[in-house]
Amino acid sequence: MQPNNDTRSGRDTYRKHVWLRVLIVILLVGWMPATFAAWQTLGAVTQVTARADSVELSTRSGAHVRISFVSQDVLRIRMNPHGVFAADFSYALVHATPALIALKIDADTSGELLTIHTAGGDGLHVIVHKQPSLLIDVTDAQGNLIVSDDPARPMAFDTQNGAVETSKLRAAAELYYGFGEKALPLSRHQQYMTMWNSDTPRYAAGLDPLYQDIPFFVALHDGKSYGVFFDNTWRSYFDMGKTDPARYSFGAGGGELNYYVFAGGAERSPANVLRDYSELTGRGELPPLWALGYQQSRYSYTPQARVEEVARTFRAKKIPADVIYLDIDYMQGFRVFSWSERDFPAPEKMLRELHEEGFHAVTIIDPGVKLDDQYPVYRSGREQNVFTRNAAGEELHATVWPGQCAFPDFTDPHARQWWGGWYAKALQQGVDGFWNDMNEPATFPAPDSNQPILAHDAGKTFPLDARHAGDGQPGDHARYHNVYGMQMARATFEGLRTLQPQHRPLVLTRAGYAGVQRYAAVWTGDNVASWEHLALTIPMLTNLSISGVPFVGADVGGFVGSPSAELYARWLQAAVLTPFLRTHAEIGSNDREPWSYGQDFERINRATIELRYQLLPYLYTLFAQHAASGEALLRPLWFAYPRDVKTYLLDDQYLLGRDLLIAPVLHAGDIKREVYFPQGDAWRDWWSGQYYAGGSTVKIDAPIDRLPLFVRVGAIVPSQPVVQHTGEMSHTALILNVALGADGTSEIYQDAGDGYAYRSGDSRTTKISLHGDFLRLQIPHGTDFQRIATVEFIGLDATPARITADGKILHEVSFDKPTRRLRITLPAGSVDELALQR
């Protein structure tokens, strides 16, 4: 066909465009080296330098790799593109430099492979392929592959911008959990995630990143786990099979490729991975007992009379509570460490009265310090030179609530100490705990009416070239952004420890990085009053929990918006056994106290909070176990039952400790729900004693006033009678809830509930074991914590013929048919063995 005129003219235009395109390409190519990535793989290993506790590999690219062992189950791999390892320093680790153990190298005859293992030869083995570009495989002692570099994408770095990356082969069914705070499905396989602390109010499911970032994950495949911790504070990312399901990659915009691989012990268990990770990055200390009570907050309770009214109402209505929060409006013009003269004229009096009623008070403290020459905090900070500076070396200023502010550089030890000292006055006045918000750090972008504010607007934090002290390793904000919030929480925590050594601090932080658990509890920021957000709390909180952070919670009811009575009641039930339990609400939302939804819901919400108080002895014991060995409090089901595939994606149930299974109602209108009972244990309904075999799925009744709650058969769960606040606990005695049907052992931890006397032995750990129908108690003598006064056996069909305590027949027993509970009052004095004879 001949072209007609039309096409010819079309061709002319096309020709013109071709020239334009060529021009653009020429321009682009000229510009490219400065802006585009220039990735380079490491190339072959050119030299191997063996030391007693590390092996250093030089590569053709000039980059060096260093391999070492923290223990036989924990391996460390570092890659520095320039071949010179920076001074070893980490904000995440308990000790800036982890202690290493001796290792051994075996070379094969061809010289192509090196095997590196611990001197003992047990645990992890590293196989280094020296050609054509360095590749690392990690196996267990038997040679089973754990992680394996993808030969198609060997470790690489970017010669232009300093980025680093590694890629691993991925088994199709391998799942990944952890990664800190993510509004993503329970397993993060085939997700791409960014680590960059961001103020993301009213985040939608799927928005990433959020407020806090923990670059650690636990992998699960075929019942076996391993963990990876990428200790790099720059903006980093994890592509867990999204780009290509056959591989996962992680990398960062700068710094070293510095990561740890956790084998999970010989069992390759997730619990072992977490134990070893928490050994490295630290554990949460025992919180003060009052911080485990119910906490009531809103933005903002003001004025003073309203705070007092809310506290009084809890007591008058007999709804238990321990803590009330003061949000930003308690301050004078949002100046941190001040009180509004108009609305809080007599804070000492208010705080004294709150204490008399058994309440503790927490105030919010943001990082922004108002620029005001008359304001002592700003003046002192300027004189002490503690504020973050911009690239030009001037004090960095940005707008937050108080207007223009300066911001302490929390990566400067002097600034941390200075900041910690400012809590003195509030403590003297009677404030009990502190809430650090806006510490991503968050700033308000310069207003531009033509542009919406985007979740990840670069103007919502410091400029990337702002300067930080970095605890002796000065660097820019791009390097230290992700630890700013954690270091603020640290400054607060350490300040409180110094100022009030007789009390355990309560610090709550919104932003964090790996290791934040050493300083603070965390909550999941500005969630939304919706059923979808309620459901999201389970994958979010359980994944945070197995990221090493024990003290976690989400705003009950959802911060943004106003929940219906039903949503609030269901949310309270779902949250009541989460470690950090706080109702919070945004400014302008409807009242959200447990009594705000009419009499019926007041009764329901009271009963829910009462359940929390009944189970506090169990929760407290779990905190003590976490502090000792890093055990998670909240556990996703797969974590406890890694061999049960049906648990791998189960995101609407969770475990508290080993013994309680919680299956809250997460959908409007539902009064029944399906519950899966994981294989390996049997379960009993907390309320009815009904038995459920492991591996079964059962539809359970869940009327609006009932939280589906189950106890593991063989468990011995301590509880107590309802109290109005934790200060009343010492007047009560413990109850043991024994779920009959399997043998088991259990411990109960008790101490003064505050202070540090427990560290010099002033605590009690009671050991209890169940063998068939015999319960043995080993109660240490000489301490006067709550005594065990009652035992309730769950799961009997009738009163046994005889019940004896140390051989003597007991008569103070009662059997409750609807709950299948046999209640036994123990005789005064100590009992060693309780026996049922059916």
Question: Residue from 174, 437, 659, 681 that binds ligand MIG (CB under 6 A)?
Answer: 437
The DSSP call for residue 275 is H
Candidates 328, 575, 604, 775; binder of ligand MIG (CB under 6 A) is 328
Nearer to ligand MIG, 399 or 825 (CB): 399
Least separation, in Å, of the C-beta of 540 and ligand MIG? 15
* Exposure class string for 402-430: b at 16+ Cβ within 10 A, else e: beebbbbbbbbeebbebbbebbeebbebb
Q: With respect to ligand MIG, which residue has the nearer C-beta, 336 or 478?
A: 336
Question: Cβ neighbours of residue 808 under 8 Å, at least 6 residues apart?
Answer: 827
- Report the residue from 327, 476, 751, 792 that binds ligand MIG according to the rule CB under 6 A: 327
8 A C-beta contact, residue 129 and residue 118:
no
Least distance between ligand MIG and beta carbon 525 (Å): 5
C-alpha angle with apex 559: 183 to 322, nearest 5 degrees? 110
223 burial (CB, 10 Å; 0-12 / 13-18 / 19+) is middle
Rounded to a whole number of angstroms, the CA Rg of the chain reads 29
Residue 437 beta carbon to ligand MIG: minimum distance, rounded to whole angstroms: 5
| Strand order across the beta sheet in which 683-685 lies | 634-635, 654-656, 660-662, 709-712, 683-685, 691-692
| Bond into 300 cis (ω within 30) | yes
The strand ranges marked E within 559-649 are 582-583, 634-635
Q: What pairs with residue 103 in β-bridges? A: 118
Nearest approach, Cβ of 399 to ligand MIG (angstroms)?
Answer: 12
526, 586, 652, 685: the active-site residue: 526
- Residue 181 CA to residue 511 CA, distance in Å, equals 10
Q: Binding-site residue total for ligand MIG (CB under 6 A)?
A: 11
**Residues recorded for the chain:** 838
- Asked if 520 is part of the footprint of ligand MIG (rule: CB under 6 A), the reply reads no
Of all residues in this chain, which one has the CB nearest to ligand MIG in the complex?
A: 299
Sheet holding 360-365, edge to edge: 552-553, 521-523, 507-509, 433-436, 360-365, 323-326, 295-296, 582-583
Distance in angstroms (rounded) separating the CA atoms of residues 657 and 624:
12
Is 532 labeled as catalytic in the residue annotation? no
Taking a C-beta distance cutoff of 8 angstroms, is the pair 143, 117 a contact? no
One of 165, 181, 494, 526 touching ligand MIG (CB under 6 A): 526
Residues in 79-108 at the binding interface with ligand MIG, rule: CB under 6 A: none
Nearest to 495 by CA among 562, 553, 433, 560: 433
Nearer to ligand MIG, 80 or 439 (CB): 439
Least distance in angstroms from the C-beta of 762 to ligand MIG: 36
Pick from 320, 525, 557, 741 the residue near ligand MIG by CB under 6 A.
Answer: 525
Concerning whether 440 is annotated as a catalytic residue, the answer is: yes
Binding positions for ligand MIG, 579-598, rule CB under 6 A: 584
Helix, strand or coil, per DSSP, at residue 312: helix
**Minimum distance from residue 526 beta carbon to ligand MIG (Å):** 5
Min CB(300)–ligand MIG separation in Å: 7
- CA–CA distance, 527 with 539 (Å, rounded to integer): 14
Which CB atom, from 293 or from 525, has the smaller least distance to ligand MIG? 525
Q: Is 199 a catalytic residue?
A: no
Q: Which of 437, 610, 644, 652 is catalytic?
A: 437
Tokens of 763: 């605590």
The residues in 229-288 that bind ligand MIG, with binding defined as CB under 6 A, are none
CB of 556 to ligand MIG, least distance (A): 12
Asked if 508 contacts 139 with a C-beta cutoff of 8 angstroms, the reply is no
Annotate each residue in 282-301 with x if it binds ligand MIG (CB under 6 A) or - if it does not, as one string: -----------------x--
Q: Which is closer to ligand MIG, CB of 167 or CB of 589?
A: 589
Token digits for 817?
Answer: 């048919």
328 vs 660, which CB is nearer to ligand MIG?
Answer: 328
Q: What is the 8-class DSSP label of residue 531?
A: H
Best CA proximity match to 589, nearest among 532, 534, 528: 528
Contact positions with ligand MIG (CB under 6 A) in 533-562: 559
Query: Between residues 283 and 582, which has the closer beta carbon with respect to ligand MIG?
Result: 582
The beta-strand segments (E) located in 752-832 are 763-771, 774-778, 788-794, 802-805, 808-809, 813-816, 821-825
Please report how close the Cβ of residue 710 comes to ligand MIG at its closest, in angstroms: 32
Contact indicator for 370, 357 with CB cutoff of 8 Å: no
> How near is the Cβ of 808 to ligand MIG at its closest, in Å?
56
- CA–centroid distance for 683 within its chain: 27
Instruction: Identify which of residues 181 and 437 has a Cβ nearer to ligand MIG in the complex.
Output: 437
In this chain, which of 364, 369, 736, 834 binds ligand MIG, going by CB under 6 A?
A: 364
Task: Single out the catalytic residue among 140, 213, 409, 440.
Answer: 440
To ligand MIG, the closest distance from the beta carbon of 53 in angstroms equals: 44
The site map against ligand MIG for 298-317 (x = CB under 6 A) is -x------------------
Map residues 396-425 to x or -, x wherever contact with ligand MIG holds by CB under 6 A: ------------------------------
Site mask, ligand MIG, residues 469-508, x = CB under 6 A? ----------------------------------------
Q: Six-digit token pair at 140?
A: 């267990």
Alpha carbons 508 and 580: distance in angstroms, whole number: 10
Shortest distance in whole angstroms from residue 510 CB to ligand MIG: 6
* Choice between 526 and 602, CB closer to ligand MIG: 526
β strands within 477-563, DSSP E: 507-509, 521-523, 552-553
Q: Kindly report each contact of residues 142-148 with a partner whose C-beta sits within 8 Å and lies 24 or more positions away, as own/partner.
A: 146/226, 146/261, 146/263, 146/268, 147/226, 147/228, 147/261
Q: What part of residues 651-680 is at the interface with ligand MIG (CB under 6 A)?
A: none
| Omega within 30 of 0 (cis) for the link into 441 | yes
Distance from C-alpha of 652 to C-alpha of 237, rounded to nearest angstrom: 27
Question: Nearer to ligand MIG by C-beta: 181 or 327?
Answer: 327
Of residues 176 and 330, the one with the C-beta less far from ligand MIG: 330
Written as one letter, the residue type at 17 is H
The nearer residue to ligand MIG, 272 or 527, going by C-beta atoms, is 527
Residues that bind ligand MIG (CB under 6 A): 299, 327-328, 364, 437-438, 510, 525-526, 559, 584
Catalytic residue set:
437, 440, 526
